Amino acid sequence: MALHSLSGAMPMALRPISDTRVCIAAQSRFVWNPALRGRVSSQKSGLVVALWHRQGMWRNQLRSCQLQCATRKGKMIVRCHGGKVKFRLRLDHQVEFGEHHAVIGSADFMGSWKNHVSMTWTESGWVADIEASPGDRAEFKYVIVAGDGRLTWEEGPNRVLDVPSGGSEIVSQWENPDLVVTTNGAAAEAHVEAPVHEKKDKKEKAKETVTASSDGDMSFSQGWQGKNVAFMKANEHTSRQGGKWETAGLEGAALRIVEGDKKSGNWWRKLEVVRDLLTDDLGKADRLDALVYSSTYLKWISTGQIQCFEDGGHYRPNKHAEISRMIFRELESIYSDKTTTTTEERVVIRKIHPCLPSFKAEFTAAVPLTRIRDIAHRNDIPHDLKQEIKHTIQNKLHRNAGPEDLVATEALLARVTKTPGEYSAAFVEQLKIFHGELKDFFNASSLTERLDGLRPSLDEQQISVMDNFMEKKKKLDEVGDGGNSDMLVGAMHALTGLRAVLLKGLESGLRNDASDDAIAMRQKWRLSEIGLEDYFFVLLSRFLNAMDSSGGAKSLSEEIQSKSTSKWKQPLGGVVLGIRQLGLSGWQQAECLAIENELMTWEKDGICGKGSEEDIRMWGLRLKATLDRTHRMAETYSDLLLKLYPKRAQNLGNALGIPENSVRTYAEAEIRASVVFQLSKLCTLLLKAIRFVLHTEGWDVLMPGIACGKLFEVQKIVPGSLPSSAEGPVILLVKQADGDEEVRAAGPNVAGVILQQELPHLSHLGVRARQEKVVFVTCDDDDKIKEMRSLLGKSIKLESSSVGVRVSTQGAEQGASSTARETEKGAHDEASVSESKVVKSSSGVILDLKDADLATAGAKSSACGKLATLAELSAEEQNNGVSCKFLVPPGLVIPFGSMEGALESSGSMDTFHDLLEQTETAQVEEGELDGICNQLRELVSSQRLPKSAMSKIAEGFSSDARLIVRSSANVEDLAGMSGAGLYDSIPNVKLSEPENFCKAVAGVWASLYTRRAVLSRRVAKVPQKAASMAVLVQELLAPDLSFVLHTVDPIDRNAQIVQGELAAGLGETLASGTRGTPWRLSANKVDGSVKLVAFANFSEEFVAGRDGVADGKVSKRVVDYSTKKLSVDLEYSVTLGQRLAAIGTFLEKSFGCPQDIEGCAVGEEIYIVQARPQP
């Protein structure tokens, strides 16, 4: 084994590149063998290592430690000497959403082949920080850990590691066993001699690397994943031979692209495939589908994963330019349409633009890009080089141009500039100019070059805005990663202003009579603003690094203890600028504006009062709510890409033979390359600091207790989400909830739930968790989620209480599950449907609300009737000196028997009974039950109230009054069966539109037979024929706030505490699974004290307009909490909390047991619309 010292100065001939790299060069010269996928084979034993960082600036010096390189069995092993050290493993590989990487090896610090060491995702790849002793050696492999804990091992021999020096980083690629060390945290890439079995034909030509421009923009080759460049001295270009075009199972846009690609070998024909798809009827019929498939197809072409060939039909690059112009016009027409174009379509269109060539006048000329012809005929270069230029680039470019031509030109430029003075300066200068022209044609120019190209089209004020940004960018480029946070924030401000200017110019859309020059300039503007967005990603990443260097979350939290928020100004400003970038890209613009207003208000207000602990807590809770909202918006962007791309990328990739890993990770790569990714990281850092301030850990308890079981991750709580191997008690790590789930829908063996999103305590899902006594917690801390994912597939113990949450493996195998309320029994718990007799009224009967009782109208109507009576008494009652006054909206009841009367009148009763009987035995599997339920609902929904009933209802309401029709079944709102959220209530109908009103009533009847309602009654052992539905009709209110009260604390069962949750607008926000948190109040019945526990951050409120058609629908309106009284006036929150506590206490006494109460605030009045026994 030969050891060679790696030290010394950097050769000046080597240039920095924008990606993080290590260059290992022979002291004389080296051969770059493309067959070895970028490895270097040295012709001499002495090697020099040069390090540089992401923005292309050289490190000042190498670390003083000695690096040693040992060659064994064709591999490079890197070693550093010193004391006990820490080092980092970094893996450059992407996985699917929900998966993560880990490392497992022979040494104890790698799990001794028994336990894996989880890796953490960072901007530069998956990392694991390891501590070991120098001289330690380990064999190891990287693995992919799936959501259910299953491992996928990388192929190939074990990796061999000799522990390097402290602070080093070892960089690897998946299923590539080479290792490289870089010191002091600088990233590296290995280029070493491959094992013999990996060597290929020696005739394969050399591939050169090309550096990026000094402003940090990557060269085109950096993203190239196609074939290596082979320089040729004769025409050795070949037409396509073979390929994969599997069309089985494809349809629509995917089928069109695959069939088109089969016929289209070269680039311009492939561009035509996209043009034809986007402009014909197929593309317009499902435009989003066509756009997504087109963006994926063009991306794989531009990165070389779909190869372009010569296939006859020779055309100069002007052919490509003309096709590109037609595609661009179509895309701009769609993008500018504010009436029919969706946000999703705009997101995808932005990904297509960079994949199109330029169609400037010089590229649409009859003979474009002629400089290369002159270069190939120069007399100051060797004949062999002339032949290589002519046959590799010139002739190919002018017959069938493609992205591979730019790769070849970059490789040639790197070759001729590697050794200064080897070729004439005039030749090199001309080649550089041509390289710039070719980059311009392929729209691969740097951001600086693009912006400079806009100058002729800008006015004086626009040029001033651009120069301001360019000056700040230049200063940042000069200092590299050394830029401080002030410089970075200044550059982000300037960038955002410039991008807004460009988008303002693009706002008017593209005129049909626009000249070719105008369209070409518009493409420049569009690509420049997209490039600015991409560069913002870089700036925000560097800002995050600067934050980490200055102490990160801990430093921010420590400052709050000194009652100052000055350090928070810049990071909050960074979030605001990130939000503006998303808004400029057309993403949820109203939401972006609301979040921006909130953050600016909270930052301006700072810590209110005298800076007491309570003042700091209020500041932290308010800011946390808005940052959670921001983080949630970032997640919705990620969710959109995960919805749009994975399945389509799989369909297209499998059909065209794209490498499996590129297909699997396509969407994840798009997410991690977006501003949203960096914005999410910044929010995570700030939320971590706030948790330090609030002394919380990201947990929230909805149902306390102890649960033991094996941990599985699922997308939602739905049947079939658990693998068949999930036997025995399980605990679910749930990614998302929408509020319609049954807690044990995934299986009867669910002992606990950990939900990865916030959820109202008093939501329907929260209520069901307490009813079914399933331990239920939420967690919004990304680090803790990662920790729990490392436990997937293992038995864990979940302990939750009002004090906190603990997840452990200790005692999980022997532990028994229990909840804090398993032993609680009340007189109500034994109540059953069979005990409540149903009295069915004849057709046409309508009851006054005060006359409704349990037998004729169900518990909800009966309770509302009693509420109406109590409302008259409430004004005379007080609690702690606070009035208990409340109101009840006027109402009428369509009693039990009305639905059956309508079925009898229409002659549908026999069919109804037959279907109802089938629901008792229908199997859930294979959709049998779904089919029967659908038939039942369709039958019932078609029924209508008799005219006599409509006439009686008209006597109780004005014809133009907005009404809500509400379910009132005999199987809901009972002590033993609340049925929370099972049945429908339909708002916003009126009697002057009788058809819509009758449809709404029939819709409530039909909700008795949803799949979920039928299954819920099965679980409760309630016969389907025992279920009856009455309909409560009430005047629809227009509330400022809606609320849910529990008169006993639902977590620790403290009878002195009334807990309330409130949301802006109608109460549907609280009842459904809308993502977000409500205002949460905790009010003491005894001493009248009120504590605001959480601030609301729901993005939207539901409102029912007073104008327009009353069609049973409500609209949504984005909420800006900086304008909401409950968020900005803490005295109001105390006053409101005391009033709600007084009303809750009064109703609890009146009904004789703890109550689950729903109501709303309209101006100064409090309305109660429902009360039922609290679960």
Q: What is the 3-state secondary structure (H, E, C) of 89-153?
A: EEEECCCCCCCEEEEEECCHHHCCCCCCEECEEECCEEEEEEEECCCCEEEEEEEEECCCCCEEE
3-state class of 366 per DSSP? coil
Question: Strand 85-92 to strand 168-173: parallel, antiparallel, or no bridges (unpaired)?
Answer: parallel
Q: Tokens 């940052």 appear where?
A: 627
For residue 941, count other CB atoms closer than 10 A to its CB: 16
CA distances from 798 to 401, 709, 726, 794, 1066 (A): 61, 8, 17, 12, 35
3-state class of 733 per DSSP? strand
Alpha carbons 1014 and 558: distance in angstroms, whole number: 54
Give the pair of three-digit tokens for residue 691. 């948790």
CB 996 within 8 A of CB 852: no
Listed in sequence order, the residues at least 6 apart from 187 whose beta carbon sits closer than 8 Å to its beta carbon are 20, 21, 53, 54, 90, 124, 169, 171
> What DSSP letter does each residue of 973-1023 carry, written as one string?
S-SS---TTTS-EEEEE-TTSHHHHHHHHHHHHHGGGSHHHHHHHHHTT--
Q: Give me the sheet containing 75-80, strands edge to edge.
A: 3-6, 67-72, 75-80
For residue 338, count other CB atoms closer than 10 A to its CB: 8
Listed in sequence order, the residues at least 6 apart from 363 whose beta carbon sits closer than 8 Å to its beta carbon are 317, 318, 321, 357, 369, 441
Alpha carbons 1152 and 150: distance in angstroms, whole number: 52
CB 939 within 8 A of CB 1048: no
Alpha carbons 924 and 750: distance in angstroms, whole number: 19
Alpha carbons 592 and 441: distance in angstroms, whole number: 35
116 is catalytic: no
CA distances from 43 to 27, 76, 1160 (A): 9, 16, 81
Let me know the angle formed at the C-alpha of 33 by 29 and 35, rounded to the nearest 5 degrees. 170
CB 372 within 8 A of CB 395: no
Question: Out of 353, 764, 828, 1046, which one is annotated catalytic?
Answer: 764
CA nearest neighbour of 571 among 586, 560, 585 = 560
Residue 838's identity, in one-letter code, is: V
CB 891 within 8 A of CB 1030: no
- Dihedral, CA atoms, 50, 55, 56, 61, nearest 10 degrees? -40
DSSP annotation of 1065 reads B
DSSP annotation of 884 reads -
DSSP annotation of 365 reads S
Alpha carbons 209 and 32: distance in angstroms, whole number: 9
Question: If 0-12 CB within 10 Å is exposed, 13-18 middle and 19+ buried, where does residue 512 land?
Answer: exposed
CB 702 within 8 A of CB 766: yes
Compute the 3-state secondary structure of the chain and give helix, strand, coil in percent, each to the nearest 5.
Answer: 45, 20, 40
Question: Strands, E, within 19-74: which ranges?
Answer: 21-26, 30-33, 39-42, 47-52, 67-72
CB 267 within 8 A of CB 226: no
User: What's the half-sphere exposure (Cβ side, CA atoms, 13 Å) at 604?
Assistant: 9
CA distances from 929 to 742, 919, 925, 933, 1019 (A): 17, 7, 8, 6, 15
Active site residues: 764
